[in-house]
Amino acid sequence: MSRRLTPRGKERRAQLIDYATKRFATDGYHPTSVADIVDGLGVGKGVFYWYFASKEELFIEILRTSQRDMRRRQQRAIEGVDDPVRRVELGIRAGVEWLAANNDLRRLFEFARTESTFAGSMKAGQSVLVSDAVVHLKEAIVEGRIPDRDPEALAWAILGVSNQLIHVYIDGDSMDAPQIADTVVDFCMEGLGVRR
């Protein structure tokens, strides 16, 4: 699906994406029908299928552009920083802040990972983030700044901590984004801090 869109058309399309994102995030993808979306916007069903080939296509589009946006933010946050450990930290903070600011999308990501139709698309996107992180982790290992362990596993672990703490503390809104970022960074840098 790809049409020539006038400014008016682009805005409609954006409207549909925004509203659908919210509904998907609050009610779930399956329970939200196309009729719900167009009714909520007060437009006819034809509008939806003018801009999107299917409900599924819309959802995948939301996932793709969101993942791209998050990665961009992370890259902007670390550009020009020499210290690899510092780059990891800034990457974590940028990621946490993006996910906290786009909680709707975070929820969509969580769901998308659970259904085979979307899992592939999600895994691909996440793998990109992990590869990004692996570069810095490897550098940190080479420089002897952190012990030599599988950098990919470390990157996934970081992602896991970030997602979990945001999920708990944003949805339970008992912490703001910077506080969560502090907690995540702290745990990722030294874990429980057990002396062994």
Partner DNA sequence: AGCGAACTAGACCGGTCGGTCAAGAAGGTT
Partner DNA sequence: AACCTTCTTGACCGACCGGTCTAGTTCGCT
Size of the site for a copy of itself (CB under 8 A): 49
Residue whose structure tokens are 């672990």? 157
CA separation for the pair 112, 29 (Å, rounded) = 9
Q: Which stretch binds a copy of itself (CB under 8 A): 12-20, 67-75, 97-105, 149-157?
A: 149-157
Q: Which is nearer to a copy of itself, 11 or 56 (CB)?
A: 56
Work out the number of other CB atoms within 10 angstroms of the CB of residue 83: 14
Q: How far is 90 from 84, CA to CA, in rounded Å?
A: 10
**Residue 182 amino acid letter:** D
| Helix %, strand %, coil % of the chain (to 5) | 75, 0, 25
Map residues 82-121 to x or -, x wherever contact with a copy of itself holds by CB under 8 A.
---x--x------------------x--xx-xxxxx----
Q: Is residue 55 near DNA by the rule CB under 7 A?
A: yes
User: Measured from the CB atom, is 39 or 171 closer to a copy of itself?
Assistant: 171
Contact stretch for DNA (CB under 7 A) within 32-40, 62-70, 71-79, 170-178: 32-40
Of 124, 127, 174, which Cα lies nearest the Cα of 155?
127
Q: Which of 165, 170, 177, 178 binds a copy of itself (CB under 8 A)?
A: 165
